Structure 1
Amino acid sequence: MAENKAAPHSFVKDGVYYFIRRVPNDLRHHYTSPKISYSLRTRSVTVAASRAVRAAQKLDEYWYHLRINDSDLPGKHMLRMAGNTGLAPSARPIASAVAVAASVKLSEAVSIYLRLKGKGRPITFQRSAERSCGYVIDVCGDKDIAAYTKADANAFRDDLLKRGLTGSSITRIFGTVRSVINFAASEIGIDFSNPFGKVYYDRNAGVEERVPLPIDVIRSLQQDCRRIDDDLRWLVALVSDTGMRLAEAAGLLKDDLRLDDPIPHVVVREHPWRRLKTAGSARKVPLVGASLWAAQRIHGVVTDSTFAFPRYNKTDQTNSNSASAALNKWLKPHVPEKGSMHSFRHSMRDRLRAVECPADIVDQIGGWQTEGVGQSYGKGYPLEVLAKWMANAA
């Protein structure tokens, strides 16, 4: 087959790129075949070109050393075993000839990861993978993924600690790096122990405890929301008696607030402008108390937009960070230290516990992950049951 011009030293078969290189005539007696050929394990011309060029460079270097009887690089799986060559012992290639496993650099691993797992994911997914692995490259260099060592992983950890990152941030970064490397290794058929898998550090360092808000503080805030009566306070009120994540609420459509149903409720679902944290986050939550009031105000006042909160949906992505900054600034003088918008979510779980709500119902209302295989069966509790417990909590 003819070489591929876009990826030198390669050809394409059934959409997959293969490396190919002819053995120099003066070295033919070391090989069982006049050419070296093996799968590059990719359909990407960019990845194939990078791998093929690096393999060719390694071969050139190896052939130089082979001429002076040395080394071990691509194509060795095609070398004649010692004993079949007829060469003197000093001129024989190493007997334990094995195939050199395909590998990719970390930067290439990120490309593979995003190409296959990044479809339909928000831009933050891509940025997280690129940023986390970029930190590794800055500290340890852009190596083949199988070339990283425990010393590299420890050096990476030490650099993150010097940056002053919290334990939770370091955990998130290491988790992303592990995922990228493990996924790429699986794709190209490498089996090795990921050195970024078990690295010690204090996972609680710098992590602030998120505290629930006392019920009297919640009631006072809800009264303030009714008194001020604007879109920011509608958002606070909606979150306060549903336990929704702020991003979930900020990205709602007006149609997600179902006031005409026998049981008024909010439909938390994924939208192109606002993804959900997990698949289990999609749910229906009854509207009671302050959240019902907020939904009624939104339907009555917002007439020029399909969004419940147009202020935070002016682009192709819900600006939940802006909402968080504005609302937490307003809350700060009125809530205990470390209290925030996310505290309403913690409070909702405590409020449901206080009325002895079953744990699996609590999980369904909040969109929390419920343990156990059996929990994935069926459609969950009907709205009537959820509404009863929400009314008790409110």
Structure 2
Amino acid sequence: MSIKLKHVWQKPGSSLLYFRRRVPDDIRPLLVAARSPHAGKSHIVVSLQTSDPRIAAPLISKLVKQTSEEWEQLRNPTRGDVRTQARQLLLQHGVDPSDPKGTPEALDYFHDYLDDQLPQSVREDENIRHGHQLDRHLSPAHRAALQLTQDRREFTLADCLDQYIAARPNGEKTARIAFGYLTGFLGADRDIRKVRRSDVNGFVSWLLTGGHNAEGQAIATTTVSRYLNALKAAFGRAIRENELGIESVFARVEIPEAGKDAKERLPFTADQLLALHRGVDAWVATKGWDPLRCIVVVLAETGCRLAEVAGLAAADIHLHAGVPHIDVKPHPWRSLKTSASTRKVPLTPRAMVALKEAHKLANGSPLAFPGYTTLEACAAGAVSAALNKWIGGREGLKASGLTNHCLRHTIKDLLRAVQCPSEISDQILGHVTPGVGAGYGQGYPLDMRAEWLTRALPLP
């Protein structure tokens, strides 16, 4: 039997096989910009640690796939990759990216280097002289580096968002919404250095008057404030990390009538909470348990946030522990609001029943509610909309304006009513307890938290 292998090589006098692949001409300068260990080499050579072609064959196939993917990424980098590679190119040639003209000799040398990256026909064309005429003949990283040296490199709103999300993944959801509205108002290609204070004020007015949607539905001032905070953080980070030398136009933005349109989040009364449970019981009696009814019961019995429950993993649920509880902790598909949100929450008997039924419905999934959560994302918004509609249709709750989030406020009030210590209440609900001493120790035992929660909840 014979095996024919491509990209294989043997050193003279050695039985070991090596993977050897030529680096394409257009990739060589990109490897330098990316600080690759293969920079400056004409071939990639990797020992396969075997002399058996049958063992070498799958290893070579894997390395071919890997190098091809790396080269394709270099040819089509993300905006963030381009910025990083451009700055690295300048630094490697002794040019300060924040002040290219401060090192004139190094800058001249770098421009000579860029000339070598151009096709010969372009170098010989006397009609092509200006930087913008050369852009289309250079790789993305080399083009961005040239633009930096000529103060032509733009930093767009899209760049700003990408950089912010890369550094602050927990803020991605709000940042994407905020930038989605901003780019709808200004355009994604707007350089952040060209955004003016008048643009920001116009943007705020646009949101408050409903100009962002066809129905003309305004956004509440509290929500606008949350979006502005995300934009302020993203702009501030971009200005600082990229040394743009400008002031953030999102600093100290005033929102007309701020807070005056806020609607008070009312809690359920004891009778309304019992009406909710009667609604669940009636539904289960006729239609059986389903994920939404399981979720709303857990919300009503624990005071957890909706995403904390909908995004539970099966392994987060401990029904047979000494004190039955759920572990609320961050997951790749669902982050938590604050560090204090990571906690163990005791379960009441009613909550345990709901989670047992949810386990049956999940049918072996690693997620507690696979109908609403995947390993990539948690659709808490869809759950909220469905639950709020259902709650508003129950007998004793119609026209109440109560939502699923009101259940969290309800638990807080019920704990207050039985004079539960504030620190225990905070540990149940995942609130930050003020004061230096609150950060010491492990907090109150789980059984004590369970005792206070049981005492607070009204009997069925």
Identify whether the pair has TM-score above 0.5, normalized to the shorter chain: yes
Partner of 1:211: 266
Q: Which residue of 2 aligns with 1:325?
A: 385
TM (norm. structure 1) is 0.72
The equivalent of 1:281 in structure 2 is 341
Q: What is the CA-CA distance between 1:189 and the residue it aligns to?
A: 3.6
Task: Answer with 324-333 or 122-131: which moved more.
Answer: 122-131
1: CA distance, partners of 2:427 / 2:220? 30
User: Residues 325 and 345 of structure 2 are in contact (CA less than 8 Å); yes or no, is this contact kept in structure 1?
Assistant: yes
CA distance in 2, matches of 1:187, 1:16: 20
Correspondence 1:156 to 2:197: no
What's the CA shift for 1:105?
4.4
Q: Do the aligned residues in 2 keep the contact of 1:20 with 1:35 (CA within 8 Å)?
A: no
Deviates more, 1:103-112 or 1:345-354: 103-112
Q: Does 1:366 align with 2:429?
A: yes
Inter-partner Cα distance in structure 2 for 1:21 and 1:197: 26
Paired residues of 2:330 and 2:342 also in contact (CA < 8 A): yes
Shift of 1:267: 1.2
May I ask how many residue pairs the two structures share in their alignment? Answer: 334
Q: Tell whether 2:173 aligns with 1:124.
A: yes
1:226 aligns with: 281
Q: Distance in 2 between matches of 1:245 and 1:196?
A: 30
Aligned sequence identity (%):
28
- Give the structure 2 partner of residue 179 of structure 1: 233
CA–CA distance in structure 1, aligned partners of residues 413 and 109 of structure 2:
60
Contact 1:103–1:190 (Cα < 8 Å) also in 2: no
Give the counterpart letter for 1:153 in structure 2.
V
Partner of 2:304: 244
> Any conservation in 2 of the 1:105–1:143 contact (CA below 8 Å)?
yes
Contact 1:298/1:308 (8 A) holds in 2: yes
Over residues 102-159 of structure 1, what are the superposed CA-to-partner deviations in whole Å (9 max), with x where a residue is unaligned? 98444433333233333xx4863562364254246349x82343x5443333222222
| 1:353-380 CA-partner distances (Å, limit 9, x unpaired) | 0011111211111112222333222222
**Structure 1 stretches lacking a partner, 5+ long:** 24-30, 40-44, 59-101
Structure-1 separation of matches of 2:98 and 2:327: 56
Aligned ranges 1:1-394 → 2 under 5 Å:
11-13=89-91, 18=96, 36=107, 49-50=143-144, 52-53=146-147, 55-56=149-150, 104-118=155-169, 121=170, 124=173, 127-128=176-177, 130-135=179-184, 137-138=186-187, 142-145=190-193, 148-163=195-210, 164-189=218-243, 193-201=247-255, 202-204=257-259, 206-229=261-284, 230-231=289-290, 232-299=292-359, 302-313=362-373, 316-334=376-394, 335=397, 336-394=399-457
1:262 CA displacement: 1.3
- The CA deviation string for residues 53-104 of structure 1, in whole angstroms up to 9 with x for no partner, is 265266xxxxxxxxxxxxxxxxxxxxxxxxxxxxxxxxxxxxxxxxxxx984
- Contact 1:352–1:393 (CA under 8 A) maintained in structure 2: yes
Instruction: Measure, in 2, the Cα distance between the counterparts of 1:34 and 1:262.
Output: 73
Cα 1:151/1:211, change in 2 over 3 Å: same
> Cα offset for 1:343?
0.8
Pair 47,188 (structure 1): closer, same or farther in 2 beyond 3 Å: farther
Q: Deviations over 1:237-259 (max 9, x none)?
A: 11101001111111223332211
Offset at residue 15 of structure 1 (A):
10
Q: How far 1:217 sits from its partner (Å)?
A: 1.1
Aligned residue for 1:284, secondary structure, equals strand
Read off the aligned partner of 1:143 and give its amino acid letter: D
- The Cα shift of 1:390 comes to 0.6
Q: 1:197 to 1:47 in 2, by over 3 A?
A: farther
1:147-194 Cα deviation digits (max 9, x unpaired): 544333322222222322211221122111101111112213456542
SS at match of 1:285: strand
**SS at 2:371 equivalent:** helix
Higher relative contact order (CA 8 A, sep 6+): 1
Q: Is the 8 A contact 2:165 2:171 kept in 1?
A: no
Q: Quick check: 1:20–1:36 contact (8 Å CA) kept in 2?
A: no
CA contact (8 A) 1:11 1:19 kept: no
What SS does the aligned partner of 1:341 have? coil
- Poorly superposed stretches of 4+, deviation over 6 Å: 2-10, 20-23
**Cα distance, 1:49 vs. partner?**
4.1
Matched AA of 2:190: D
Instruction: Tell me how large the CA RMSD over aligned residues is.
Output: 3.8
Relative to structure 1, is the Cα distance of residues 382 and 116 closer, same or farther in structure 2, using a 3 angstrom cutoff? Answer: same
The CA distance in 2 between the partners of 1:16 and 1:343, in whole Å, is 59
1:269-328 CA-to-partner distances (Å, cap 9, x unmatched) read: 222222222222111111114223323433466544333223223563222222112211
Q: Structure 2 length normalisation: TM-score?
A: 0.62
Q: Which amino acid aligns with 2:147?
A: V
Tell me, in whole angstroms, the C-alpha distance in 2 between the residues paired with 1:21 and 1:280.
43
Runs (5+) with no aligned partner, structure 2: 1-28, 34-81, 111-138, 211-217
